[in-house]
Homo-oligomer: A and B are copies of this chain.
């Protein structure tokens, strides 16, 4: 394999053979191809694109750069969910115990916050004592015992993806659909899953701002899943406004706990969170073989939520991973769980809230301490917002729009939060979070 000739062919828009991609990535991972050659390849691949075969070959090379877990000796079809990330996306915290409560094992490996978007690991760690750093044997044992486990990526999983992602980050080659898809799928396929459901987010608070890009990403992800004989379904969901009412690690975890307890979270009901959770659960239960159809899965998921079985599974999960059970019983008793400020509607606010800029609120939360400017920065688990006013709500000057939580309230940029709200005299048209569904063959809708 001559890396320069591969670079030249990709530069000129040719498609490479799967074996060529595999050789290149394998050589890069072991250090035989230097960073500068891979950087040139990534830029060429970004601009000229990778077709489905190339994206699958890249996924395969990254997948096999590390350990590929084999959970086939454990009973049941193991199913996971991956979200492309958004603002207020606490769905994993509800979904994993809910699906496990219905009898489908959920082995979930998650990430930390990235840019304006939160990460499941940071939200789990907002539960005092919760340990996301299990060994692989501990991960297997817990999955077998209680049917659900939620950990962080280990060094054994897809090291080539770590190395490539770090290089993409510093070479302006992050936002490529095939590169993103290969990165996601190499990590998910290494978990030992039998099937996968994807929550592909589109809109202002998502990494894919344009719906067409989000659809293309969904199709690429599902295509890779099918190349690996793993049934994969993608839901396209709206991420223009924050999901639910809470943004920030503990605020989001508290919201998830309240929903699973059957209580109204701080700020008010969060119907969209419940809609997205049940739609994803319906697909997982279908792919996991406990429901004949997504509709059948929906009924089971609804029952697990309403009956409290999902909450019971959350208690099992938190207990198994060393978390403080007291905060599950009374989320508002956690340190930092009381608001430190309020954001109020300005003088010119009148009529209805027509939009809440998820991207602006995501960055405002990072600024407040909920996220990191640098990888090694600590996060303030308490930091964040709870929206007391949602899109479609009537509003008058002085109304409370959001409450603020933070260990250091001086980091609040109240104007940025206020500016994230848009008003109009007429109410906006009602919309659903659930935009479309892709099953690998077609977009079916709901």
Contact = CB atoms under 8 A, between A and B. Distances in A.
Central interface residue in A34, A36, A41, A44, by most chain B CB within 10 Å: A36
Nearest to A44: B43
14 contacts: A4-B171, A5-B172, A11-B43, A11-B46, A35-B39, A36-B36, A36-B38, A36-B167, A36-B171, A37-B170, A39-B43, A39-B171, A40-B42, A40-B43
Contact of A36 (B8, B35, B44, B47): B35
A51 to B, nearest CB: 17
A173 interface: yes
Given A7-B43, A37-B170, 14 more contacts: A4-B170, A5-B172, A11-B43, A11-B46, A11-B47, A11-B173, A34-B35, A34-B36, A35-B36, A36-B38, A36-B170, A39-B40, A39-B43, A40-B171
A207 B259 CA distance: 68
A154 interface: no
Contacts of A4: 170-172
A42 B41 CA distance: 11
A125 to B, nearest CB: 29
A394 to B, nearest CB: 42
A422 interface: no
A38 B41 CA distance: 12
A172 B43 contact: no
A48 interface: yes
Contacts of A7: 43, 171-172
Interface residues of A, number: 24
Contacts of A43: 7, 11, 39-41, 43-44, 47
A43 B46 CA distance: 10
A138 to B, nearest CB: 37
Contacts of A38: 36
Contacts of A172: 4-5, 7-8, 11, 40, 44
Contacts of A46: 11
Contacts of A47: 11, 43-44, 47-48
A176 to B, nearest CB: 10
A405 to B, nearest CB: 32
Interface in A360-391: none
Interface in A32-84: 34-44, 46-48
Central interface residue in A48, A170, A171, by most chain B CB within 10 Å: A171
A168 to B, nearest CB: 9
Interface in A1-33: 4-5, 7-8, 11
A41 B40 CA distance: 8
